[in-house]
């Protein structure tokens, strides 16, 4: 959702300015194009150079610093902005925004932009509770601006209280949600997408397990792609990858845990994507204590795990069900067979014997098999690009 978006971060003079630097980094990492405007007070806490390097662009601090004769810089920045984030927002900027005061680069640009505004107040608890601040917040809410609730915790003043700036992850998440709310052209807006990812772990004892080479990358890219198309995404993950923002992640280990989490979200799901490599078998006995070495060979008996995709195929009503097939030979033939056996709506098949496809790679090459359709071959590309194509084909079929 943030990919390619023009985000302007308006930094005002609170002690939490240093955290705004991390937020800029997160926006950039999420693919946004970021500009930063700072008040004079903000520059006393952190040098503009820090934000310049993180945003890869000169920081705006002076309304009258008109470098380009072809445009007026605060109007140019206001028009360029697709999302305005005021962070940390001082009691002073809240008052200015509530009363239409435009007396520096930050307040003037905020007056001139029509972009949605996300405001992140951060201040001493008494400043926050001051009736003037509360009235200003109420006014800003009545303008339709989104205001984040400050966190409670250890304040810079050395005592516990309300007024802390929420962590950058939470703000990035709120920015994402605001962009979804204010976008009208997202094909998966209001839809639930359920994704599984990673290789399940089947315990032998507390320190040993059976697993496979799946990294979870394909499932994570699918979850992110669905999120960027406006969906509410639940990712049931047996992977150790960093949680993507804007996605509800449920961590699991075993196939049975994965099944329980998936089934808990199955009814509401519109699209289900089973990208996890679920272990077919698990040890019959799972020792409570570490197994001791003996002088003889040992045997580990395995029993079958539930077939999650097939169960979903039987239960589905509205869900568009996508399965994955990792094969090393006769890929198309096995995938078509899997499509029928599991009653899936699509099988994404990949040849895991290929050097640049399948487990643990950043690229993939897949064949998409659907009932009554010719197979679609997608040549080697990043998993991110392939995830987008898979979802686009699903959306076209679903006619959402």
Binding residues vs ligand FMN (CB under 6 A): 12-16, 39, 41-42, 90-93, 122-123, 127
Q: Residue 289 CA to chain centroid, in angstroms? A: 38
Q: Tell the smallest beta-carbon distance from residue 150 to ligand FMN (Å).
A: 10
Backbone φ and ψ for 299, nearest 5 degrees, come out as -125, 140
Q: Is 306 annotated as a binding residue?
A: yes
Q: Which residues contact 184 (CB under 8 A, 6 or more apart)?
A: none
Alpha-carbon gap, residue 44 to 63, rounded angstroms: 18
Q: Are 23 and 89 in contact (CB under 8 A)?
A: no
308 among annotated binding-site residues: yes
- The Cα–Cα gap between 255 and 306 comes to 7
Minimum distance, C-beta of residue 140 to ligand FMN, in the bound complex (Å) = 14
The smaller minimum CB distance to ligand FMN, of residues 93 and 175, is found at: 93
Catalytic residue among 212, 305, 329, 397: 212
Q: Which is nearer to ligand FMN, 107 or 200 (CB)?
A: 107
390 is in an annotated binding site: no
Handedness of CA 9, 11, 14, 16 (dihedral sign): positive
Nearer to ligand FMN, 91 or 319 (CB): 91
Annotation-wise, does 324 bind a ligand? yes
**How far is it, in rounded angstroms, from Cα 190 to Cα 226?**
11
Strands 160-164, 151-154: pairing is: antiparallel
Report d(CA 58, CA 55) in Å as an integer.
8
Q: Say whether 283 counts as a known binding-site residue.
A: no
Nearer to ligand FMN among residue 130 and residue 211 (C-beta): 130
The answer to whether 212 is a known catalytic residue is yes
Residue 200 makes CB contacts below 8 A (sequence gap 6+) with 211, 212, 238, 252, 253, 254, 255, 257, 258, 276, 277, 278, 279, 305
State in angstroms the smallest separation of the CB of 92 from ligand FMN.
3
Question: What's the CA dihedral at 372, 377, 382, 387 to 10 degrees?
Answer: 0
User: Between 36 and 273, whose beta carbon lies closer to ligand FMN?
Assistant: 36
Least distance between ligand FMN and beta carbon 156 (Å): 7
316 annotated among ligand-binding-site residues = no
> Residue 344 — φ and ψ, nearest 5°?
-85, 165
- Is there a binding annotation on residue 330? no
Closer to ligand FMN at the Cβ: 126 or 328? 126
Residue 255 Cβ, how far from ligand FMN at the closest point, in Å? 49
372 torsion bin: left (phi>0), alpha (psi -120 to 50), beta (else): left
Least Cβ distance, residue 180 to ligand FMN (angstroms): 29
Binding region: 280, 290, 306-309, 324, 338, 342
Binding region for CTP: 280, 290, 306-309, 324, 338, 342
Q: Which residues are catalytic?
A: 212
């Amino acid at each position: 959702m943030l990919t390619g978006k023009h985000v302007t971060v308006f930094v005002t003079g609170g002690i939490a300015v240093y955290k705004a630097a991390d937020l800029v980094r997160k926006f950039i990492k999420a693919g946004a194009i970021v500009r930063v405007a700072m008040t004079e007070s903000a520059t006393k806490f952190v040098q503009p150079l820090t934000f310049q390097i993180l945003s890869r662009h000169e920081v705006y601090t002076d309304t009258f610093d008109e470098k380009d004769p072809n445009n007026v810089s605060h109007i140019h920045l206001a028009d360029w902005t697709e999302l305005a984030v005021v962070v940390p927002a001082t009691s002073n900027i809240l008052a200015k925004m509530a009363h239409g005061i435009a007396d520096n680069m930050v307040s003037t640009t905020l007056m001139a932009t029509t972009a949605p505004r996300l405001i992140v107040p951060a201040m001493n608890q008494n400043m926050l509770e001051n009736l003037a601040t509360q009235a200003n917040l109420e006014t800003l809410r009545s303008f339709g601006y989104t205001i984040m609730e400050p966190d409670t915790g250890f304040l810079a003043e050395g005592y516990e209280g309300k007024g802390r700036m929420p962590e950058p992850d939470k703000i990035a998440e709120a920015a994402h949600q605001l962009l979804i709310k204010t976008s009208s052209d997202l094909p998966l807006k209001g839809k639930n997408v359920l994704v599984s990812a990673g290789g399940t772990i089947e315990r032998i004892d507390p320190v040993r397990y059976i697993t496979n080479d799946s990294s979870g990358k394909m499932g994570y890219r699918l979850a992110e792609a669905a999120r960027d198309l406006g969906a509410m995404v639940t990712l049931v993950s047996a992977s150790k990858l960093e949680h993507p923002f804007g996605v509800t992640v449920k961590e699991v280990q075993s196939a049975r845990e994965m099944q329980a989490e998936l089934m808990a979200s199955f009814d509401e799901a519109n699209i289900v994507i089973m990208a996890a490599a679920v272990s077919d078998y698990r040890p019959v006995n799972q020792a409570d204590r570490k197994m001791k070495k003996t002088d003889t060979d040992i045997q580990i008996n395995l029993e079958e795990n539930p077939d999650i995709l097939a169960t979903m195929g039987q239960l589905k009503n509205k869900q568009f069900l996508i399965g994955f097939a990792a094969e090393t030979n006769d890929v198309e033939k096995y995938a078509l067979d899997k499509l029928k056996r599991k009653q899936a709506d699509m099988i994404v098949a990949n040849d895991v014997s290929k050097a640049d496809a399948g487990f643990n790679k950043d690229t993939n090459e897949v064949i998409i098999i659907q009932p009554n359709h010719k197979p679609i071959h997608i040549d080697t590309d990043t998993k991110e690009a392939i995830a987008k194509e898979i979802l686009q084909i699903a959306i076209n079929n679903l006619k959402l």
